[in-house]
Amino acid sequence: MKKDKILVIGACGQIGVELTLALRKMYGDTNVVASDLREEHELLKGSGPYVSLDVMNKEMLHVLVIRHNITQIYLLAAILSATGEKNPLLAWHINMQSLLNVLDIAKEEGLDKIYWPSSIAVFGQTSPKVDTPQHTVIEPTTIYGISKFAGERWCEYYNHRYGIDVRSLRYPGLISYKSAPGGGTTDYAIEIFHDALESKAYNCFLKEDTYLPMMYMPDAIRATIELMEAPKDHIKVRSSYNLGAMSFSPKEIGAEIGKHVPGFTMRYEPDYRQQIADSWPGSIDDELARNDWGWKHEYDLEKMTVDMIKNLKQ
Ligand code: NAD
């Protein structure tokens, strides 16, 4: 067992629950402190320490870090893309200030490592749509994307200026069955499984031919841990790494689910989220992640669909 002491902020969210459980397996239950604004998630109960925390309260966060001898922070608290468009100033405020609070405490306390996720939402209409490269035109149009891009610049700045070992991934849309998604544009790819199994029908909020980069949660958790465990000198990108696994449209995932759910039908009623999806890449070039620290995805659309359906039926 390692001596590190980890704080996960936003531990009750879609990624946080699974990441906290995975980290507890690696580092020991008591060495991973879970925290969130919300009540403790059912799946976390009894698995290790839980603290109620508003990451916007810097003093409270600072005291928590000192009291628990924290050496690493995983900051997952954020306002996601679709929710962010409903209240842009709030999304900007929370997404930026939470990161600045964490980076600054990392600097003051000399923490070992910080993890903070960015998103494919940093890319906008002017970025190449297919196999979007790591370094390209970046002009996000959603407030979520703007805040993620600014956050990436802050991460790199704190690394270059103060030597903070901050690491980051630009997650694609993440698909999981354990905890509910938090208001993103790719949430359709989770809802579709639930509706297919409950009613054999799904009304999709995106058009049938909208391609987006996606990843199954076990791959995302493994990528996060592998990035954080990689030797320091392998991490060449200090803003945020492009990360990819698969790319599909609503029509394609619908057809894949139809192989397991006879009679499954889909309708399409695009809403405001179509515009967000249209501004994002269809697929991602993650060559640097593959070269620098050995990223390799395991799940494609077919394998993920089989696993999602098997687990949701249980
Ligand atoms: P989520 O919305 O499911 O979870 C976020 C958690 O943060 C929630 O449990 C919420 O209660 C908590 N939180 C919000 N404000 C807080 C505050 N002030 N103090 C403490 N906790 C607070 O989000 P997620 O899907 O788990 O995403 C985690 C991170 O990954 C975010 O930075 C998100 O932008 C990024 N990301 C997610 C996806 C995805 O598909 N899920 C894709 C790209 C990037």
Q: pLDDT tens across 67-81, in order?
A: 999 999 999 999 999
Query: What is the count of structural domains for the chain?
Result: 2
Q: Are residues 97 and 156 in the same domain?
A: yes
Element (H, E) at 123: none
Q: Which of 27, 50, 74, 144 is catalytic?
A: 144
pLDDT at site 2: 47
pTM of the model: 0.97
Please say if 144 is a catalytic residue: yes
Which residues fall within 8 angstroms of residue 33, CB to CB, at 6 or more apart? 5, 6, 7, 8, 48, 49, 50, 51, 64, 68, 70
Residue 68 has a CB neighbour count (10 Å cut-off) of 17
Provide the β-strand partners of residue 169: 241
pLDDT at site 39: 96
pLDDT at site 98: 98
Q: Are residues 165 and 193 in the same domain?
A: no
Residue 153 has a CB neighbour count (10 Å cut-off) of 11
Which residues fall within 8 angstroms of residue 275, CB to CB, at 6 or more apart? none
- Inside any domain, residue 1: no
pLDDT at site 3: 78
187 CA → ligand 1 middle, Å: 13
Q: Are residues 203 and 251 in the same domain?
A: yes
Q: Are residues 179 and 34 in the same domain?
A: no
Helix axes 250-258, 188-199, angle to 10 degrees: 30
Q: Are residues 166 and 231 in the same domain?
A: yes
Q: Are residues 167 and 40 in the same domain?
A: yes
Q: Give every residue of the chain whose pLDDT is below 70, as ranges.
A: 1-2
Q: Identify the burial level of 271 via C-beta atoms within 10 angstroms of its C-beta, where 0-12 means exposed, 13-18 middle and 19 or more buried.
A: exposed
Q: What is the CATH number of the domain that holds 27?
A: 3.40.50.720
Nearest CA to ligand 1 atom 44: 119
Q: What is the CATH number of the domain that holds 193?
A: 3.90.25.10
Does ipTM surpass 0.90 in this model? yes
Of 227, 242, 257, the domain-final residue: 242
Of 242, 258, 292, the domain-final residue: 242
Q: Are residues 27 and 154 in the same domain?
A: yes
Q: What number does the ligand 1 atom closest to the CA of 95 have? A: 32
- Inside any domain, residue 285: yes
- Inside any domain, residue 308: yes
| Residue numbers of the domain that contains 206 | 174-214+246-313
Pocket test for ligand 1, best of 37, 51, 168 (most atoms within 8 A of CB): 37
Q: Are residues 121 and 183 in the same domain?
A: no
- Inside any domain, residue 282: yes
- Inside any domain, residue 278: yes
Give CA–CA dist 149/139, Å, rounded.
Answer: 9
Q: Which amino acid is at 252?
A: E
pLDDT at site 1: 47
Q: Are residues 85 and 187 in the same domain?
A: no
- Inside any domain, residue 293: yes
- Inside any domain, residue 43: yes
Q: Are residues 168 and 289 in the same domain?
A: no
Q: Which amino acid is at 129?
A: K
Which residues fall within 8 angstroms of residue 206, CB to CB, at 6 or more apart? 185, 188, 250, 268, 270, 273, 274, 277
pLDDT at site 109: 98
Give CA–CA dist 129/123, Å, rounded.
Answer: 9
Q: Are residues 78 and 223 in the same domain?
A: yes
Nearest CA to ligand 1 atom 14: 77
- Inside any domain, residue 222: yes
Q: Are residues 202 and 102 in the same domain?
A: no
